């Protein structure tokens, strides 16, 4: 199963951090900018696949090497340009998954109408974080400590291949702790929905389901290798 490449439109205040995270996850990343200064900044910071184009030109957008199963992330600094770009990209690449960032409810609605699969409202995210800090301060701080752990604690999405020995098994019956990882939940391929392990995952795992795990980066890599190599899982 091919893992789509990622095309990040915008290397501004948000794009900078998104690119850093994608690079850390070893994603095949292409950064696209229309601003010369932002383009040069990305180049200077070590990104190899960086393009400078006019993102308002459908002709230039259509010449990009975007495949229909690739992922597009729209984070242009100008929110109106971000909406226009999302609309253009959806028309050119109808099967791609498009993510976009919004700074307002109005912009979020426009981005959804333009064809974004998922819109991340920054104000909503901030509000939820503040709410969690007030209602669940210990849990929130614990999660922060995982994400900022100096030894590489992180999340990983592991897509189950057809030959995996996990196929047909219940996700919560596997002893993940033996491999140093923790199961957070499963993205069910058949429905596209995410199910938290704490809510109970009753359906057996199927091909192309995605395990979402947390743990040391090296342990996560080894756990994924065991699945891909058909090794026995406890």
Q: Domain of 59: which CATH number?
A: 3.40.50.720
Residue with tokens 């026995």: 232
Q: Strand pairing partners for 149?
A: none
Highest mean pLDDT among 56-65, 184-193, 209-218, 222-231: 56-65
CATH code at 188? 3.30.70.1450
- The CA distance from 57 to 211, in Å, is 39
CB 98 within 8 A of CB 35: no
Structural domain count, the chain: 2
- Residues 12, 46 within the same domain: yes
User: So what's the pLDDT on residue 153?
Assistant: 63
Phi first, then psi, for residue 115 (nearest 5°) are 115, 10
Domain extent at residue 77? 6-125
Considering the domain architecture, whether residues 175 and 115 belong to the same structural domain is answered as no
Domain for residue 1, yes or no?
no
pLDDT at 148 over 90: no
Inform me whether the pLDDT recorded for 92 exceeds 90: yes
Report the C-alpha gap between 147 and 172 in whole angstroms.
23
Pairs from 199-202 (Cβ < 8 Å, separation ≥ 24): 200/172, 201/170, 201/171, 201/172, 202/170
Where residue 134 falls among pLDDT bands split at 50, 70, 90? low
How many whole angstroms from its chain centre is CA 176? 23
Residue 129 has pLDDT above 60, yes or no: no
1 pLDDT tier (thresholds 50, 70, 90): very low
Of 59, 65, 123, 119, which Cα lies nearest the Cα of 91?
59
| Tokens, residue 63 | 């010449």
Tell me the whole-structure pTM to 2 decimals. 0.58
Q: 31 and 73: one domain?
A: yes
Whose structure tokens read 């609605």? Answer: 109
Residue 24 lies in a domain: yes
């Amino acid at each position: 199963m091919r893992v789509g490449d990622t095309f990040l439109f915008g290397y501004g205040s948000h794009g900078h951090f998104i690119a850093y995270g994608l690079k850390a996850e070893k994603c095949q990343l292409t950064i696209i900018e229309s601003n010369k200064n932002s383009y040069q900044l990305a180049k200077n910071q070590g990104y190899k696949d960086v393009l400078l184009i006019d993102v308002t030109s459908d002709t230039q957008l259509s010449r990009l090497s975007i495949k229909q199963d690739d992922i597009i992330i729209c984070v242009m600094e100008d929110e109106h340009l971000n909406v226009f770009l999302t609309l253009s990209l959806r028309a050119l690449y109808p099967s791609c998954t498009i993510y976009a960032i919004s700074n307002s409810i109005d912009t979020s609605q426009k981005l959804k109408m333009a064809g974004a699969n998922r819109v991340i409202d920054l104000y909503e995210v901030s509000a939820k974080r503040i709410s969690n800090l007030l209602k669940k301060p210990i849990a929130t701080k614990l999660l922060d400590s995982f994400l900022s752990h100096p030894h590489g604690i992180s999340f990983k999405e592991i897509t189950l291949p057809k030959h995996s020995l996990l196929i047909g098994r219940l996700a919560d019956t596997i002893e993940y702790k033996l491999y140093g990882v923790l199961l957070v939940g499963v993205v069910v391929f058949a429905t596209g929905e995410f199910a938290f392990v704490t809510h109970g995952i009753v359906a057996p795992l199927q091909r192309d389901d995605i395990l979402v795990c947390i743990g040391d980066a090296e342990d996560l890599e080894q756990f994924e290798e065991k699945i891909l190599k058909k090794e026995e899982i406890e």
